[in-house]
Structure 1
């Protein structure tokens, strides 16, 4: 826990209580059943419920019951469900951060960042169901932001440009993570990857999608590319990897352009 003596409480006004808890700048309750509860225990129990039953399964009363305590006992540690959700988000973002190195392979670092982000969405399917309400403000989330910015340590860019690249990669990670999560959910409920990709509907689409109405889409439908009919012949590789590599190509091109325009 941080020493509150050195914190400007006036500047912390308006800072969400859940975020304060994540930083350890809220005095923890000493009331309750002999200190057997803790914020970590409560958050871990809530994550276990959410992983099994989704966000709809998480309530203060259910979390309390899973730990063998009354709901009121939880409120002595975490004041609201919103605070709990923020703490859950931060907890699952506690991922191993690669050590700093002298020479940075920024493309490899960004690939790893995206891979780790996507894994969070797939391991904790509820993570993407919580709406984004602000920039990251909790410590584990910010640790990931710091890792991403480290990849751009030697970029000849200003802070605005770096933050824009961070947003671009984080947005791609989120959309890719949610798509892969949804595919996992569908398979778990009895669906198949062929349905998700549209392969099961390929023959029907070839009958329904006519060149007169869909002149640009029609060739893709007929070739099988739209529904992944010829995946074995695809030399591009995984769709998500392909998209990420094109983003990285764009960043590289932007860096080269900045260097070209840089005054001598």
Structure 2
């Protein structure tokens, strides 16, 4: 979590900024400057250089204004991050027509969130367990809960299921990002890393000492071409999460697991 978030928040200032109430128009703010322009510049900066490069000074430089002009609109980096997150939530796809079946709807939500993290990896560090209470965040939550309506789940269970699915997405996105960063930092792909280490491992570990690990590790490596395939892990994990949700849904509608077709549409119980 960014250290800038450790200070005591001011709810009035944060919410006024998120909901754009009373946006300042004072002198010295710079020509055409607004919260939206500042946030767009900040997102572009974070996308290009990462969250560590995001400072109020660099955002001001990108806009061609004095740093204090940015502070006229945004109190600090913590508040800026909240508005950046809320802004990106607002550009996510929310089609009016939903796929048939709760499972297909949750799959689409998972993939939409994964696409957001892939496009803006810094979100993985910017988000916290405390929700951003902006209009787009609320709209996103409301839309995603719609995938779970009418299934007999309690409100608490609906929230828990959504939290479970999105938690899997974040975990998968973080693992994929770690793999990219590790390759960049070491200058080696996973395959190259294993090629370099395998001969040493063979010398150090006696044959047959770890038979299960050797068998499974070899099978996984041959299947994925590497020790870990983030894409496979996401897909496999998502289906297992949804299998678990199906059990809960089945219990609520009569004690039988919900049967789904290849599209994830409910076809029987």
| Equivalence map 1:39-188=2 (5 Å) | 39-94=35-90, 95-101=92-98, 104-130=100-126, 132-187=128-183
SS of 1:37's equivalent in the other structure is coil
1:260 aligned onto 2:257: no
In the alignment, which residue of structure 2 is the partner of 1:6? none
Gaps of 5+ in 2: 1-8, 226-230, 257-269
Q: d(CA) in 2 for partners of 1:150 and 1:193? A: 40
In the alignment, which residue of structure 2 is the partner of 1:224? 219
Q: d(CA) in 1 for partners of 2:172 and 2:52? A: 23
Count of residue pairs the alignment pairs up: 240
What is the CA distance between 1:192 and its match in structure 2?
A: 2.3
Q: Cα distance 1:128–1:41, how it changes in 2: closer, same or farther (>3 A)?
A: same
Q: d(CA) in 2 for partners of 1:133 and 1:23? A: 20
In the alignment, which residue of structure 1 is the partner of 2:239? 245
What is the CA distance between 1:191 and its match in structure 2?
A: 3.7
Q: d(CA) in 2 for partners of 1:89 and 1:209? A: 48
Gaps of 5+ in 1: 1-12
TM-score (norm 1): 0.79
- RMSD of equivalent CA atoms: 2.8
Q: Which has the higher contact order (CA 8 A, sep 6+)?
A: 2
TM-score (norm 2): 0.78
Q: Cα distance 1:120–1:199, how it changes in 2: closer, same or farther (>3 A)?
A: farther
Q: d(CA) in 2 for partners of 1:49 and 1:125? A: 12
Q: d(CA) in 2 for partners of 1:89 and 1:14? A: 18
What is the CA distance between 1:93 and its match in structure 2?
A: 1.8
In the alignment, which residue of structure 2 is the partner of 1:5? none
Q: Deviations over 1:98-157 (max 9, x none)?
A: 2145x7421111111111111121111211112514134222222222222100111111
- 2:30 touches 2:65 (CA, 8 Å); kept in 1? no
In the alignment, which residue of structure 1 is the partner of 2:191? 194
